[in-house]
Amino acid sequence: MKSHRISLLFTFLVSFSLSCPAYELVRVRLLTGQQSVNILCAETTSLYDPSTAQDIAVTPSFAEYSITPSDQGLRLIQTSIDGGGFSFNLPYEVVIEPRGNGTVSVNGREYRGSIFIKLKNGGVQLLDVINIISIDDYVRGTVKVEISPDWPEEMIKAHVVAARTYVFYQMQNRAELDFDVESGIMSQVYWGVNGEDSASNRLVSETAGEYLVYRDAVAQVFYHSCCGGYTEDSMDVWGISIPYITNVRCPFCRNSPRYSWEKKFSTGQIQEALKKNGIDIGKILGIYLLKKSRTERVQELSIKGAGGEKKMSGDSFRRIMGYSVIPSTMFTVEQKVRDELIFRGRGYGHGVGLCQWGAKEMAVNGYDYKEILKFYFPGTKVKKLTND
Ligand SMILES: [Zn+2]
C-alpha cells in the first residue's frame, strides 16, 4: 500500500484499453466545503503527507479527533474523552490510513480504504474529504442504497456490474480532477460500510473483474428506478449519440409501484416553487407542453402566468418542483378547474439505460444478469477484464 501512496493521488493512471485500471482505486468525494471533520478510527492508523508519502503521526486504536483548516495548513485536535485534548499542525493535505483492514469513521459514517483530507481548491479555509477505496469496496457501498438487497440475485449482479462499469468510466474520464465520483445523487449514491449487505457483498466477489463493454471499450452506463415502458435515447436527453443507449421497449416494469403516478397541485404551489427558484411570473394561468421525445417525455414546456411566460425543459421543471415530486418527465397536464393542475405520468427517474424495476422483474422471470444488461444496453456484453 505504501508504495502506491504518491502515485495513487498524483498520477492516477488508468488504461483506456480493455484492461483493468492500473490501481483499481476510486476517489470518492464524500464531503466538500466543510469547516471541520470528525474522525474516529477503531484501530491503529497512520496519518501521512501525500506529497512525501511520509508518516506524520500514528494514532492508537479508538483515537477520536477533528481536523480543521488553519493558517499553516490543517490542524488536528484530539477529542477522545481521555485524550487530554492535545492538538498539532498538519500539512495542507493529509491521508488517514488504517494499518489493517479497518475502517475510518468520518462524521459518524464508516468507510473502508483511506481518507484524504485537503483544503478545498481556491484558497478558502474549507475542507474536502475524499475516500480512496478499491473499486469493489466502492460497489459494495452502493447496493443497499440504490436497490434492496432482498431483490433477486441476478438483478443485484446486474446492478453490481453496472455500478462497477459506471465508476471505471468515471475514473477514465476524470483523471485530471482530484476525485472520480461524488458520494451523492450526482453520481451513484455511496454510503460506505452502511451501504453494504453480506449477501450482496458475496455477489460483488462472484462477479469480480466483470465490466460491461461495447466493442473495444468499457461502456458508459446509466440507470434509473422505473422507465414507464420505454427507456430514453441518449440523443433525446443530452444530444449525444451513444449506440447502446437507445429507446428500449420495456414490458417488465408495468406492475411496479413506480410505473404510473398522478399528482395534483394548486396553481399557488407551482407559483411558490418557481418563486423559490427566482422565477416570478405572477399567478399561474396554465402549463402547456411544447415538445416531447419519441417516448413521450416532455422536452420543453411553457408556464403562462399573469405577469408573463416562462419556457423551460421538462428536466428543469422536475428540478424546480423536486425530483421526487414530479417523478419523471413522461407526463401530461390537465387543468379541469382554474386553480388546480393534474399531472399524470409514468416511470421514475431520467429513463436512461437500465430500468431497475424492469431488471428486477426480468430476474424473477429467469433472465440472468448478462441477459438483463444486454437487454437494456443493446450491443454490449459482460466481459471479465484482467491485467494479463
Ligand atoms: Zn422499465
The length of the chain in residues reads: 388
Question: Which of 134, 153, 169 is the C-terminal boundary of a domain?
Answer: 134
Q: What backbone phi and psi angles, to 5 degrees, belong to 9?
A: -90, -35
Cα(134) to centroid of ligand 1, in Å? 31
User: Is residue 13 assigned to a domain?
Assistant: yes
Q: Which domain holds residue 58?
A: 2-134
Cα(226) to centroid of ligand 1, in Å? 5
Cα(121) to centroid of ligand 1, in Å? 41
Cα(247) to centroid of ligand 1, in Å? 11
User: Is residue 246 assigned to a domain?
Assistant: no
Q: Name the residue among 98, 101, 128, 136 with its Cα closest to residue 114.
A: 98
Q: pLDDT confidence of 22, banded at 50, 70, 90?
A: very low
User: Is residue 171 assigned to a domain?
Assistant: no
Cα(301) to centroid of ligand 1, in Å? 24
Q: Give me the number of domains the chain comprises.
A: 2
Q: pLDDT confidence of 7, banded at 50, 70, 90?
A: very low
Cα(246) to centroid of ligand 1, in Å? 13
User: Is residue 187 assigned to a domain?
Assistant: no
What angle is formed at CA 190 by the lines to CA 367 and CA 386, rounded to 5 degrees?
Answer: 60
Cα(230) to centroid of ligand 1, in Å? 6
Cα(182) to centroid of ligand 1, in Å? 26
Instruction: Please list, in sequence order, all residues whose beta carbon lies within 8 angstroms of the beta carbon of residue 134, skipping any fewer than 6 positions away.
Output: 24, 25, 26, 112, 113
User: Is residue 231 assigned to a domain?
Assistant: no
**Residues of the chain with pLDDT > 90: what percent?**
65
pLDDT exceeds cutoff 80 at 336 = yes
User: Is residue 185 assigned to a domain?
Assistant: no
Cα(372) to centroid of ligand 1, in Å? 11
The string of pLDDT tens digits covering residues 136-186 is: 999 999 888 777 878 999 999 999 999 999 999 888 887 778 889 888 777
User: Is residue 326 assigned to a domain?
Assistant: yes
Cα(256) to centroid of ligand 1, in Å? 9
> For residue 18, what pLDDT is reported?
55
Question: Which of 111, 134, 157 is the C-terminal boundary of a domain?
Answer: 134
Question: Which of 84, 112, 134 is the C-terminal boundary of a domain?
Answer: 134
Average pLDDT estimate for 352-379 = 97
Amino acid at 377: F
User: Is residue 182 assigned to a domain?
Assistant: no
Cell numbers for 93: 493535505
